[in-house]
Amino acid sequence: MDLTPGRNMYNSFRLRPTPVPTLPKMAEPTSIKVTIRDIAKQIDHSLLHPTMTDKEIEDGLEIARKYNVAAACVKPYSIKRARRALEDTDVLTCAVIGFPHGNSTTSCKNEEARHAVLDGAHEVDMVVNVGKVLGGDWNYVHHEIETINRTVITTPVGMGGGTAILKVIFENDYLQNHHIIKLCEICTRIGVAFVKTSTGYGFVKGEDGWYTYKGATPAHLKLMRQVCGPNIKIKAAGGVRTLDDVLYVMGLGTSRIGATATVAIIEEALKRGINDVPMEVAIEVPGGQQIHASY
């Protein structure tokens, strides 16, 4: 789809929803060759629960350090703490902004992103404005993602320098496939580093008053991988809890997962004999619509 800037083009989605394209069926993965480092570097260790104390965050950062994961994902006030705790490792510090609902103004998100990078965040996970997505205000959505991406990649990373990257969180539980497709197209055009399925906190309230949550699903991960350009990486978050879950989403082409079950995942990999030598491992395909059926 042509995404040449133009207000009428973006907002036309409000009146005439873009037909969902028929995509070729993506084959289920059957096996994958991995090392223990491959698995560890797939994980963004999540330290985002709203009730976490400083002590719990410190303990979580020690886990990230011990297991040499890709990144520790923290709230903005913990960025400097994370950088200090992870000093002399190659574990990155990832900060969330507009989290978890994405409702801040673009200018607020932009400043939050800038301060996060200046404080030392190597990566920024930003939640889109879900209401604007559902309402089809694609001009707003495009402008917001483009503005924040530009700020993130041009602001020098504090506490050592370097360049940061942006991950855009869709919160797929609230969206239909045509919304996900449009977001993937916009993010591909802008050239963001990652698109991400969920925050882990996008609970949907049903008519009966009960809340449900899916997080990353096989169908959405396949859709995102097929629609996004080859240079855009995918992060699966929400419901990826076991080693088998991780191997499966890796087989679908994801480059990162958000996880709180880091210890269990890596210890299970070690228990199965996965080490520094590449090993072919069978992939267990989920039987239902979710990655982890008990979620």
Burial environment of residue 44 by CB neighbours within 10 A (0 to 12, 13 to 18, 19 or more): buried
pLDDT for the residue numbered 81: 99
pLDDT of residue 205: 86
pTM of the model: 0.89
> Which pLDDT belongs to residue 24?
75
Radius of gyration of the chain (CA): 19
pLDDT at residue 29, as a whole number: 93
44 to 137, 235, 249, 255: CA distances (angstroms): 31, 9, 14, 10
Query: What local confidence, expressed as pLDDT, does residue 136 receive?
Result: 98
| pLDDT value at residue 286 | 82
Residues 6+ away with beta carbon under 8 Å from 178: 17, 18, 19, 20
How far is it, in rounded angstroms, from Cα 77 to Cα 264?
A: 27
Q: What's the pLDDT score for residue 212?
A: 86
What pLDDT, on a 0 to 100 scale, did the predictor assign at position 203?
Answer: 87
The conformation of residue 22, written as its DSSP 8-state character, comes to -
d(CA 71, CA 84): 14
User: Residue 9 has what pLDDT?
Assistant: 33
Structure tokens, 200: 């882990």
Closest by alpha carbon to 247, among 214, 274, 277, 213?
A: 274
Query: What are the residue ranges in the chain where pLDDT is below 50?
Result: 1-17, 293-295
Question: Looking at residue 27, what is its pLDDT?
Answer: 84
Token representation of residue 108: 């607020």
So what's the pLDDT on residue 293? Answer: 45
Question: First-to-last CA distance in the chain?
Answer: 35
Looking at residue 25, its pLDDT comes to 80
- Please list the active-site residues: 196, 235
